[in-house]
Each structure stands twice: as C-alpha cells, then as structure tokens.
Structure 1
Amino acid sequence: MELLAPAGNMDKLKAALLYGADAVYLGGKSFGLRAFSDNFSPEEMEAAIAYAHERGKRVYVTVNIFPHHRDLPGLPAYLRQLRDFHADAVLVADPGIFGMARETVPDLPIHISTQANTTNWAAVKFWYEQGASRVVMAREVGLSDIKEIHDRVPVELEGFVHGAMCISYSGRCLLSNYFTQNRDSNRGQCVQCCRFKYNIVEETRPGEYFPVVEDERGTYIFNSKDLCMLPYLPDMYQAGLHSLKIEGRMKSIHYVATVVKVYRQAMDAYVADPEHFSVRSEWIEELEKISHRPYTRGFAVSRPTEADQVYSHSCNTQTHEFIGVVQEYDAARQMVWVEQRNHFKVGQEVEFLQPRGETVRLRLPRLVTADGTEVEAARHPQERIGIPCLQPLEAQSLMRRRVREK
C-alpha cells in the first residue's frame, strides 16, 4: 500500500519523502484547490518531480478545480507541461477537464479527486471505463462500502487516513462564496468559514444575536474534528485500498514529517506481522504533538454524530512546538548544528524527531553560534546554533519542545 503525503512547497516535499512517504501530491499556481498554499511554479514543479523520481518516489499534480469558461484556454498547455515534466498522474474532479486531459495527454494517468464525490461502485466503474487509473474515495464512504467497490471494480482506490475534515459533502461548499467576494472554495480559495463563530438572529429582531449554546465563547457549529484512522489501519488494508492519503498541503513541515513517520512505522509494522499488529502508544503520542483538532474516525465504520464536531472553539491544540532543523552532526566535536526556527534557550528540555532513528531527548547544556560565541538563547530566525550532544543525530531531524516550555 502506498503512503501519500501533501507537499505545499519544496521543503515539505523533501520532508515527506525523507520521513517515509511513497508519493506526494502537489499543486501548481493554477487549477488546484489550495490557492493559499505556496504551490509550485513550473520551474519548481519540474525540479520537484525530478527530485522525487531520483529517489524512486511518485508525484501527483492536482488539477481538481471546478472550472469556468475563462479557466479552460490555458489548460491544454498546462497539461502538456505536466506530461513533459513526467508527472506520475493528475488529480481531476471535473468531467470537462477529464475529457480534455484524455484528448490532450492520453498517456498521462488520471486520478479522480475526492471532489468528484465518488461514493458507489457504479460511479467508480464509470470512471474506470472512461480511462481513470485511480479513484479517490469521497470521505463519506465507509470501509465496508470501499471493500465492495474493490471487489467489483479492478481499479486502484485511494482513501484519506489523516487530516482536516470538511463540513460539506466531500469539500463541495459555498460558505466561502457567500461570506466573501470572489473566494470560491471550489476553485481553491476557501477561507474555512466552517471554523467561524456563529450566533442566531431572529427574523423580527435584526441586530440581536443569540448564542446557539450558552457559552461565553460562543459556538462553532460547523467545526469538524480531524480525521485519524490509525486505529483502523488493518481495516483499511482489508478494504482493498491501494493508497492512504494524508491531508495537509497548508500544514507545517513539523506536521508533515510527524504524521508521515507515524503512518510509515505503523504500515511497516502491519505488513511485517498482520496477525499481531497493534497501535503503539508512542504513535498516538506523536500525533498529539502536532497542531490538530480532536480526532474522529469520520465515516469509516458508522455515520458521524454530534460528538464529531467541536462546538466550543476553533483553535487547534498541540503538546509540542517546532523550534529547529538539524543541519549536520559534528562527530569529532560531538556537536549538533541546528537552524533556528523558533526561540529556545539553555536549560530547556527538547527532543529531536529523526527521519529514521528513535526520538532523542536532550536538556540544552549550552549554545554556541557559528563563530564560536556562547549564548544563552537562540533569538534570531534561521540562525545556525551548535548544541553539545553525545548521540549522533540525522540531518533534517526536527527539534521541538513542549508548548509550556518557554
């Protein structure tokens, strides 16, 4: 089974592949559903695909907007460009884009995006007969239905395993369009109105706002919990999924690296010994360290209930924060060199999440700048800081600390 990770920019792509993803999905500056992600220029995309292929990994490019007439003239040239860059597939939701891709670049594999709302075997069969090589299941499809689809249609199936959930049906939402001007959520510009605070206004009393729940903070009636399918990993294998997809092109490097590593370890453990597989407590702890909302299993085994929403707040929670990236380890001096990403100081307890090795914990004994000057704190963004460390650390390990450790 493939582990598929988000890549909002080149740094996140490198982190995803380094920490264990088999493939990444990314978007260009146009035609994708994450307009507020960094995304990739043509030059960056060509370099990203080459980088992944050199490491035996795959890259899928999102072309999954619902286009208007004005979007179509530039599409054939863009599709030919993706073919020339050797993209491994494009993700498509709109039948018009699908037909144009089949005509313009017939050899470029097409994956049907979750935006297409594919929820039954007949729809999957339709896309397969049109030439799709993979169908991404709508989030509303349970594992038992996915198993039936797998048994009926000989096409690759992809399902979400972790990340944010949309309040609307597989992402088709008009709240953003309604509350803002020209911010179409189905063309990549959603402002996540489902995370806003809402009150009720009675028709004959305009201007009088009544809280939906008696709480001084108001209520967030559309705010979904985040998906976490780690406890159901064996069921996802048995359902016949070919690829497990992590949501989060707009999330941080810390999020991408942590989630990818957890699922990589879990998937490897399951494949090695399916009969005795169990979810390790340290995997759950890792997923609590990243920024997230409370977790839910979504539609996987039953319909969601009122408990799958977060009514009291829209803020994420996390136990740890990202503060640095390991550049190199100097074995002769037993010194790890870190690029600072957030303030840290002598005496703090930190830990290093390594791409392959175990997590290493360390109380900072002293800090040294690049010119050898000892300092009490690393205060300057992207400053190079040396930290005495007896244990060798892998390059690109992520340094973090507990949120309360200031």
Structure 2
Amino acid sequence: MSNTKKIPELLSPAGNLKKLKIALSYGADAVYGGVSHFSLRNRASKEFDFDSFGEGVRYTHSLGKKIYVTINGFPFNSQLKLLESHIEKMASLNPDAFIMATPGVVKLSKKIAPHIPIHLSTQANVLNVLDAEVFYEMGVKRIVAARELSLKDAIEIKKALPNLELEIFVHGSMCFAFSGRCLISALQNGRVPNRGSCANDCRFDYEYYVKNPDNGVMMRLVEEEGVGTHIFNAKDLKLVEHIPAILESDVIDSLKIEGRTKSSYYAGITALAYRAALDDYRDSNFVLDRYENELLTLKNRGFSDGYLIHRPFEKLNTQNHKTAISEGSYQVNAEVSEDGKFALCRHTIRLGESKEIVSPNIDEVSVGKSELGEIYSENGKKYMKFYKILLENGKELESIHSGNENKIVLPITLPAFSFLREKIE
C-alpha cells in the first residue's frame, strides 16, 4: 500500500542554463536562479544574462515545471532605481515566483509586479509564528525557513498559518554564521556576503598566534607544519536520512538543495538522490543506503544533519576543522552533451578502461557495441569502454585528459546530460 502523505516539491539550484537543464532532467520539480548583483550568488548570476535566463524560464515551463528568480540581496539606497527596473524586467519573463529577503523589497515587488508570487528568502531568518505572520500578511506566499528552524517549529508555523507554504534546505553548503548573516568576507576582502559576493573566508586556512602585551612579541602556535587549521568551516548539510520524518510531519511544501556555484555533476546527483528518496518513500520502499551512496560521490566538507532535528547547542559535529573540501568517493571522467552523441573530458580516459554511466534514466541506456567501444552491464550498473578515442574533429587519441576541451565521439548514444565516472581508490 503506497503512502498517502503529500510529496513536497524538489527544488534544485540553477547556476546556469546547462545546470538548469541537468537538474530538471535528473528529477527536480523546480529550479531557482538569478541575474545581476541583486541575486545572492554573483558568480552564478554572471553565468546567466537576461536572454539565457529567459530561455531557462521557457525551457522549464515547457516541461510543466517551475522556476523561481532570486532577487534576495540587501540593496543600498543608491541601488533602488536599478532594483525597480530589474524587478520589472524579470517579471516580464513570467517566472513562478520571486525569492526576496527584505520587507521593503517585498513591498516594492507587490507594487511593481503584483502578479508574481513572492517567496521569502532564508536570509530573512524566519524562525517563529510571529515573523511568519507578518510576512504572510504582506502577501508572501512561501517562506524559505532559516536553516536553524526545527521541524517542531515548522509544525507550529503551519498550524497557525495553514495556507503559508514552507520550504526548507535539505542539502548543500552551510554558513558558519546564522543563516548567512556574516561580515567576515566584507572585513577581509571588501566583498559583502549579503550582496552576493561572499569570498568564503570561513573556508580559509588560518594560523593561531599569541601576543605578549608587555613586549609585543608574537608567537605562532604550531599545529601541523605548513597546514594551518580551519576555525570556522561548517560541514555540508545532508538531510536525506530525515526524509521520512520530514514527510510524515506533513507541513513542508518544498525541499531545497543549495549550490548554484557547484558543478554540473552536483546538480544532477543531488536531484537524482533526493528524487529517488521521495519517490521511494511514496512507494513505501525507502532504502537510505541507495541515496547516501550517491551523495557520498560528491565533493564535500564532511556532512552534518544540521539543526532541523537537533538544536544548534545540542550539536558538536557541525564543523570540519581539517579541510575546506574533500574529494567524494567518485571522480567524474566526462559530461555528456545534450544530444547524447558527444562528451567533454573532465578526468583522464584511456583506451580499454571502463567508466560507470550515470544517467537521468539508466533504463534508457542500451547495452551494445560499435567500432568505437561498448556499453555493458555488471552488478546492476552500466559501463562504457572505449576501443577508440575519436574526437569530433576526426583526431584519434590513446588517452584524453581534462585540459582537452574537444568533444569525444561516444561509441553509443547516451541520454542527454549523462556522466561517466570512476571510483576513487
């Protein structure tokens, strides 16, 4: 008997048009992204211009899915005229919602583009019924809860405001500060986090010194020679193990994955894993290891289950003091093109080596051979092996490396946006 609880929307990051298409093909119900410095990810926003974002909106809607525009920066007075024209311009694309962070910007949007629903950004730090009610009365349709919100408090908010949608983060980078309220990057680099240009100073290597105030002598405290330490570095969020509890609460409308600046592979694998978790829960077939194993293939800073189930003061394992980022369990060797006929090399591929195929729908991958290579099945997985490495320009190679941006001709066509990968030994 299948589960009757509602299945929340799965919302993925769209750092550029390619990642948007990948996230949707791997199972996301909706995507979010933006253009310009009013979006809180300057690096990602530079990958979209107005025309390409408009194409993204049309593409998303052609699949019957949704797209939300990030206009969630904290503007200065000098930017308000520019902000008005930006809201007008983005509204003309008819996205499914704006994501905004401040009461003033919400009010402005209601005046300029009353037909576009508003989702309140996690930057607004809503943690309680009182604040949720204020924004709901302003006309906000959905609140993206602060990462510090507990599931118990989400239940209380939904009880008080049953028509207000609630969205929570389930995966991705965590800020060491309170839901993004950080100034370290501004102090050290002049890059303001709440205006989209965070330099990730919390991930840097730091060194400890002690100073004698009597004589001004500074002495370095040595930890590991030449390494330093990480004193702010938060582990990444991973809530897949709590999917059953989240869904059984029946109060969460959308599950959000962080990571507009992360790789295409990240966009695909996070959508794939959480899509499978949601669908399997619906079908009473939830097997945690399946999703965990996929998520562990991603580069990460170590994982934590955040604060949804446990309060921050109850947690002692949310920081990684050793490394800013570590390799996942797999290396991506190639990214397959949208037409499925070619791939771009991302890590060394040699003749005769087998690479595992990851695909939006692995059942669509045909086993077979050609003069260039073969696809075969083993232990429930599918692999590709090259007999010849032939480039689109006709050149033939013994091996290809990540610096080579020429397209490889695939032995057999694969589904759009598939990946080839290998386990890191």
**Same fold flag (TM > 0.5):** yes
Unpaired runs of 5+ residues, structure 1, are 331-335
Residues 321-350 of structure 1: CA distance to partner in whole angstroms, max 9, x if unpaired?
Answer: 2222334899xxxxx643334431113231
Match in the other structure for 2:27: 20
Deviation at 1:202, TM superposition (A): 3.0
Match in the other structure for 1:152: 160
Inter-partner Cα distance in structure 2 for 1:167 and 1:117? 14
Indicate which of 85, 103, 117 corresponds to 2:111: 103
Match in the other structure for 2:69: 61
Residue identity matched to 1:172: R
The residue correspondences of 1:26-105 to structure 2 (distance < 5 A) are 26-37=33-44, 38-105=46-113
Please say if 1:267 is aligned against 2:288.
no
What SS does structure 1 have at the residue aligned with 2:22?
helix
Match in the other structure for 2:326: 316
Please say if 1:344 is aligned against 2:349.
yes
Deviation at 1:218, TM superposition (A): 2.4
* Number of aligned positions between the proteins: 391
Indicate which of 15, 19, 22 corresponds to 1:8: 15
Inter-partner Cα distance in structure 1 for 2:416 and 2:108? 43
Inter-partner Cα distance in structure 1 for 2:40 and 2:349? 36
Residue identity matched to 1:340: C
Deviation at 1:42, TM superposition (A): 1.2
Identity over aligned pairs, percent: 35
Indicate which of 169, 174, 180 corresponds to 1:165: 174
Please say if 1:180 is aligned against 2:189.
yes
The residue correspondences of 1:366-405 to structure 2 (distance < 5 A) are 366-370=388-392, 374-379=396-401, 381-388=404-411, 393-403=414-424
Please say if 1:244 is aligned against 2:252.
no
Comparing 247-256 with 289-298, greater Cα deviation is found at: 289-298
Kindly tell me: are residues 104 and 206 of structure 1, through their superposed partners in 2, closer, same or farther at Cα, counting changes over 3 Å?
Answer: farther
Residue identity matched to 2:175: C
Comparing 214-223 with 369-378, greater Cα deviation is found at: 369-378
Deviation at 1:387, TM superposition (A): 4.5
TM-score normalised by the chain length of structure 2: 0.87
Kindly tell me: are residues 77 and 337 of structure 1, through their superposed partners in 2, closer, same or farther at Cα, counting changes over 3 Å?
Answer: closer
Residues 342-367 of structure 1: CA distance to partner in whole angstroms, max 9, x if unpaired?
Answer: 43111323111111125522344432
1:320/1:403 contact within 8 Å kept: yes
1:27/1:39 contact within 8 Å kept: no
2:299/2:325 contact within 8 Å kept: no
Deviation at 1:105, TM superposition (A): 1.1
1:26/1:39 contact within 8 Å kept: no
Comparing 239-248 with 37-46, greater Cα deviation is found at: 37-46
2:301/2:323 contact within 8 Å kept: no
Inter-partner Cα distance in structure 2 for 1:349 and 1:226? 31
Comparing 316-325 with 361-370, greater Cα deviation is found at: 361-370
1:366/1:387 contact within 8 Å kept: no
What SS does structure 1 have at the residue aligned with 2:140?
coil
What SS does structure 2 have at the residue aligned with 1:111?
strand
Indicate which of 198, 214, 222 corresponds to 2:232: 222
Unpaired runs of 5+ residues, structure 2, are 1-7, 364-380
Residue identity matched to 1:26: G
Inter-partner Cα distance in structure 2 for 1:329 and 1:103? 43
Inter-partner Cα distance in structure 1 for 2:179 and 2:297? 27
Residues 190-241 of structure 1: CA distance to partner in whole angstroms, max 9, x if unpaired?
Answer: 0011111223333424542225xx4443221111110000000011112311
Deviation at 1:372, TM superposition (A): 5.7
Comparing 47-56 with 371-380, greater Cα deviation is found at: 371-380
Inter-partner Cα distance in structure 1 for 2:47 and 2:78? 21
Kindly tell me: are residues 254 and 202 of structure 1, through their superposed partners in 2, closer, same or farther at Cα, counting changes over 3 Å?
Answer: same
Please say if 1:362 is aligned against 2:384.
yes
Residue identity matched to 2:384: L
Inter-partner Cα distance in structure 1 for 2:197 and 2:339? 42
Comparing 201-210 with 32-41, greater Cα deviation is found at: 201-210
What SS does structure 2 have at the residue aligned with 1:300?
coil
1:352/1:397 contact within 8 Å kept: yes
Comparing 34-43 with 18-27, greater Cα deviation is found at: 34-43
Inter-partner Cα distance in structure 1 for 2:339 and 2:263? 24
Comparing 143-152 with 47-56, greater Cα deviation is found at: 143-152
